[in-house]
């Protein structure tokens, strides 16, 4: 019996409703008011995704003494010279426009100084305090206001829908739309469009400790891999140094204690009470995230871990009342877990936070597939080997807006492109095949995946661990292939959702492994204990992986120093 398939038609289809997706919708409607725009969101619009979880803030050069050139150099040096410099320049200059748009058009309220200027706090890895914020709940402010603006416009919302696969055109000349799952009914939906934006966000929940919510499963990256699109810098998985460590069974374990704590002067100490970061980097606690994460793991390995195996962050020397005022949300979160952030110490451990790697795209957010655009954490090249804290939400909003402008730049043709029916049937079969098969141990498989990635493809890697991971991931793939779910009521089928999540996470994990194997030096978030040195910066190369059938292919390509070369600075030229 052929699977019944619903159809939905629009001009612009946006997969994802974080900062990138919402900004894209607003810009597209502003540029082309009559254009049909639809947003697909895995949960409820404005209530899910990673942008909403942003605590720290938004990097932008606003204050006297700061400049886009200075922000750019911090971004390039933090990224260890692997960044696509054209994209990085768009990030820092676009942030200056977007922050004003957020306040004057979107309606965001950010913290201000007594003189009325926007307050900017210190974040690690930066030469200037440039992080705009709303207390320590910046993401909620941005997403709430963006969602209000989207609700006020004629934008279709496909809530509780998950994207399953990208569907090419029948003539092979680009994209025709996407196959969706309506989780409320269990129906499959072919969403046809002239242009599609991939903005689902990352979500490295394949690691034992991670910051994103459990429903984040790298869906966009997995769809891109199945579409044979090239992904760059996939070995660059960022670990935030200070993930809350409240015990193995706590759902709060892995959630972020924001970087502003260290920027404000917080201390990292070990089980003996020693403040240890000065042993690893002159910047101490304000070193970049990769350096701090490795220092913490080294301290733990040397036997100086706390009762749950982590280290501690302490703020009491800054004054308990001051800490409560500056970091109200963080203090309350810690109190919920039995910790006193203001007057005591809180146990922390590095936690998988952000994917620097992703789909190859250009300055107009175009991918190699005509009609397919990408923005936000689904993309690679902006951050290089390490993302500066505060550059993430700037990335989403800057490139989300650019994507919306690009997609709406040309009036749509009268007829939607015809989808490749064979590719559509393959995508349907992939989604439905597990249903009715003998149920597999999905929870155990996901836990094993998290162990493999944490132990063998985590903060510290070497040839032996990567080879071990290769075998372990292959075994997991074979077991998952045989693991099904009951073919019962499809409405909000959580077992089916878990199976689809795990398939995507496993596929992206294999891409991370392939890229990590290709890079035989240490650079930013990627540290090889068997190759600890950084190779010649002037000869920097980035990794590119893609999926050909069931085989991962990989190569390296030279970084193009389009604006500045290692050893040079835009500041001297400015």
List helix spans (H) across 190-269: 219-226, 260-263
In what helix (H) or strand (E) does residue 12 lie, and over which residues does it extend? Answer: strand 12-15
Catalytic one of 240, 366, 461, 499:
240
Residues 323 and 130: their CA atoms lie apart, in Å, by 20
Residues 92 and 94: their CA atoms lie apart, in Å, by 6
SS3 track for 45-62: CCCCCCHHHCCCCEECCC
Catalytic one of 98, 161, 208, 262:
262
Residues 191 and 199: their CA atoms lie apart, in Å, by 16
Residues 200 and 15: their CA atoms lie apart, in Å, by 6
Integer CA distances (angstroms), 117 to 62, 110, 111, 489, 535, in order? 9, 10, 9, 55, 43
CA 438-442-443 angle, to 5 degrees, is 145
Residue 183 token pair: 């989780």
Residue 308 annotated among the catalytic residues of the structure? no
Residue 262 annotated among the catalytic residues of the structure? yes
In what helix (H) or strand (E) does residue 187 lie, and over which residues does it extend? Answer: strand 187-192
Distance of CA 29 to the CA centre of its chain: 25
Residues 469 and 456: their CA atoms lie apart, in Å, by 6
Could you give the 3-state DSSP secondary structure of residue 239?
strand
Secondary structure letter of residue 164 according to DSSP? E
Number of helices (H), then strands (E), belonging to the chain: the values are 15, 20
Residue 228: CB atoms within 10 Å: 14
Active site residues: 240, 262
């Amino acid at each position: 019996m052929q699977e019944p398939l619903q159809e939905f038609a629009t001009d612009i289809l946006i997969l994802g409703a974080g900062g990138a997706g919402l900004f894209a919708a607003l810009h597209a409607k502003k540029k082309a008011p009559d254009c049909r725009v639809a947003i697909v969101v895995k949960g409820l619009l404005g209530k899910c995704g990673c942008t909403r979880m942003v605590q720290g803030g938004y990097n932008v050069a606003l204050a006297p003494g700061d400049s886009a050139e200075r922000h750019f150099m911090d971004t390039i040096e933090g990224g260890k010279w692997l960044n696509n410099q054209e994209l990085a320049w768009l990030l820092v200059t676009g942030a200056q426009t977007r922050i004003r748009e957020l306040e004057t058009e979107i309606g965001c309220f950010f913290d201000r100084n007594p003189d009325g200027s926007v307050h900017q706090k210190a974040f690690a890895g930066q030469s200037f305090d440039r992080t705009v914020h709303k207390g320590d709940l910046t993401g909620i402010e941005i997403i709430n206001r963006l969602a209000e603006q989207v609700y006020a416009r004629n934008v279709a919302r496909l809530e509780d829908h998950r994207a399953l696969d990208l569907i090419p055109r029948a003539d092979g000349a680009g994209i025709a739309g996407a196959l969706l799952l309506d989780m409320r009914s269990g129906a499959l939906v072919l969403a046809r469009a002239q242009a599609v934006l991939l903005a689902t966000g990352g979500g490295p929940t394949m690691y034992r400790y991670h910051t994103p919510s459990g429903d984040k499963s790298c869906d966009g990256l997995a769809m891109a891999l199945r579409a044979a699109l090239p992904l760059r810098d996939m070995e660059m998985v960022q670990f935030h140094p200070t993930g809350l460590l409240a015990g193995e069974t706590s759902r709060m374990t892995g959630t972020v204690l924001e970087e502003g704590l260290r920027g404000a002067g917080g201390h990292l100490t070990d089980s003996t009470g020693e403040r240890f970061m000065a042993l690893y980097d002159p910047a101490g606690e304000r070193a970049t995230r990769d350096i701090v994460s490795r220092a913490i793991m080294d301290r733990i390995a040397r036997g100086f871990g706390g009762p749950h195996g982590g280290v501690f962050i302490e703020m009491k020397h800054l004054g308990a009342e001051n800490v409560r005022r500056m970091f109200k949300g963080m203090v309350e979160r810690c109190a919920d877990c039995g910790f006193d952030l203001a007057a005591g110490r809180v146990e922390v451990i590095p936690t998988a936070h952000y994917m620097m790697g992703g789909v190859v795209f250009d300055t107009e957010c175009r991918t190699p597939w005509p009609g397919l655009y990408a923005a936000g954490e689904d993309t690679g090249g902006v951050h290089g080997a390490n993302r500066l804290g505060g550059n993430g939400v700037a990335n989403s909003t800057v490139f989300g807006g650019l994507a919306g402008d690009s997609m709406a730049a040309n009036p749509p043709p009268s007829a939607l492109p015809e989808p490749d029916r064979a590719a559509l049937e393959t995508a349907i079969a992939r989604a439905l095949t597990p249903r009715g098969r003998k149920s597999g141990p999905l929870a155990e498989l996901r836990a094993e995946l998290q162990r493999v990635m944490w132990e063998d493809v985590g903060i510290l890697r070497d040839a032996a661990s990567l080879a071990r991971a290769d075998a372990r991931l292959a075994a997991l793939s074979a077991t998952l292939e045989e693991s099904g779910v009951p073919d019962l009521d499809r409405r909000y089928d959580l077992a089916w959702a878990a199976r689809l999540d795990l398939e995507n996470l496993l596929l992206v994990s294999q891409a991370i492994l392939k890229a990590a194997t290709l890079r035989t030096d240490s650079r930013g978030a990627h540290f090889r204990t068997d190759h600890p040195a950084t190779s010649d910066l002037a000869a920097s190369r980035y990794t590119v992986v893609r999926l050909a059938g069931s085989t991962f292919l990989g190569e390296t390509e030279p970084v193009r120093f389009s604006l500045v070369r290692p050893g040079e600075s835009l500041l001297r030229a400015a």
